[in-house]
Amino acid sequence: MSFDGLGVLPAPLGRRALSFAVDAAIVAIAAIPAFIGYPLLLAAALAGDTGSGPVPLVLVIVGVVLADAVVIVQLVLHGLRGITVGKKLLGLRSVNVDTLEKPGFWRVVLRAIVLGASSIVPVAGPAVLLASPLWASNAQKRGWLDAVSRSVLVDARLGVDPYDATAMREARKARDRANAEPAPEVPSLATGTGAPTPFAPGTRSRSSIVGGAPATGALAEAAPATADPAGPVAPATPPAVPSTPATGSVGLPPGFGQAAAATPAAEALLLGENGLRYALKATAVIGRNPVADPAKPEAASIIVADETFSMSKTHARLELDADGVWVTDLSSSNGTAAVDTAGASSDLTAGTPAHVAWGGTVRFGDRVFTVHQSSSF
């Protein structure tokens, strides 16, 4: 079974048993001095031989100390790194069943205490606990000791390793892509096969995209049928330019909006690492499929095709001023970072604008864009 669709696989019972055997063998090897000294010490005690010297007792003490040290090291490795020597050799990892993270030191200690207490019934007690995964009804084959420690043993050799951050990130992206709703179909922009139609410019949007429509209907009636022989036609009155937002908005950092109020905002160009260009005329929200921003309902939308889903649907808000762009993260899933021209990077706090000067870089999740003035291109 794949845990939560991530490709994390439960450990095979054969390798699981073999890894425990390896760990037990290491403890047994460390206890060899005790195995040698204890029979000698017992024989001397039964024979009443007080002249055998301290060697048997020293051997027992050394063997017990070495075995205990190995057990403690194994517990620390198991709790804090999810491995023991046997698990590492056989490609297994122990993880928290709820979070797929490290199982935790004290949970592993509790597991060891329960296993030790089962020795009240010699041999049979530990054997039943260790064999309980054989009849486990859950798909992960979690035994009674796994239930006590809220852990599960997984196969990092054939499945995804939960401790490999890169592999887990890619697995989550693949799962999200598989579960994502299909993108809505959009009309083709390919040129038709019929007769060409005259182009009539439409209203210029705030994202610097010029729309157009065939000269039919109202536009066709407004257009003169022939040129006026009396002279040139006076140009139409240009549309009014939206006024700059007022300065001193509550909750914005010092200076936000002041430069824009003093100097008309320049057009910006966002250059992506894949060569795509996105024009920014005024305020806009950017993302895979951005929705209207309640704080800036007049904001335009910049839609970025992101097959990796590292960008949120509505990732951030962009606002121009004369020196660059103010970027506000809109509680995105993978965060936003600003990188200045010197290469210093800072992660943005959601809802707090940060200024990116011309030539600076913005990271939306895994997507990277450089901010330029349109006049420089």
Please say if the pLDDT value at position 270 is more than 50.
yes
97-112 pLDDT, tens digit each: 888 888 989 999 999 9
Residue type, 237: T
Local structure of 165: helix, strand or coil: helix
How would you class 280 by CB atoms within 10 Å of its CB: exposed for 0-12, middle for 13-18, buried for 19 or more?
buried
Q: Calculate the average pLDDT of the chain.
A: 77
DSSP string for residues in 247-293: SS-TTSPTTTTHHHHHSPPPPEEEEETTS-EEEESS-EEEESSPPPB
Mean of pLDDT values over 282-303: 88
Any idea which architecture 258-376 has in CATH? Sandwich (2.60)
Please say if the pLDDT value at position 218 is more than 90.
no
Would you say the C-alpha torsion 48, 51, 55, 58 has a positive or negative sign? positive
Nearest CA-CA partner of 92 in 141, 149, 153, 152: 153
266 vs 155: which has the higher pLDDT: 155
pLDDT number for residue 37: 87
335-353 pLDDT, tens digit each: 999 888 777 788 899 889 9
The confidence band for 245, taking pLDDT boundaries of 50, 70 and 90, is: very low
pLDDT number for residue 251: 43
Mean of pLDDT values over 20-40: 92
For the chain, percent of residues with pLDDT exceeding 90: 24
Local structure of 111: helix, strand or coil: helix
194-214 pLDDT, tens digit each: 555 554 555 544 444 444 444
Please say if the pLDDT value at position 138 is more than 90.
no
Nearest CA-CA partner of 27 in 115, 152, 103: 115
pLDDT number for residue 321: 86
Domain(s) labelled CATH 2.60.200.20 in the chain stretch across 258-376
The confidence band for 258, taking pLDDT boundaries of 50, 70 and 90, is: very low
CA-CA distance, 233 to 237, in Å (whole number)? 12
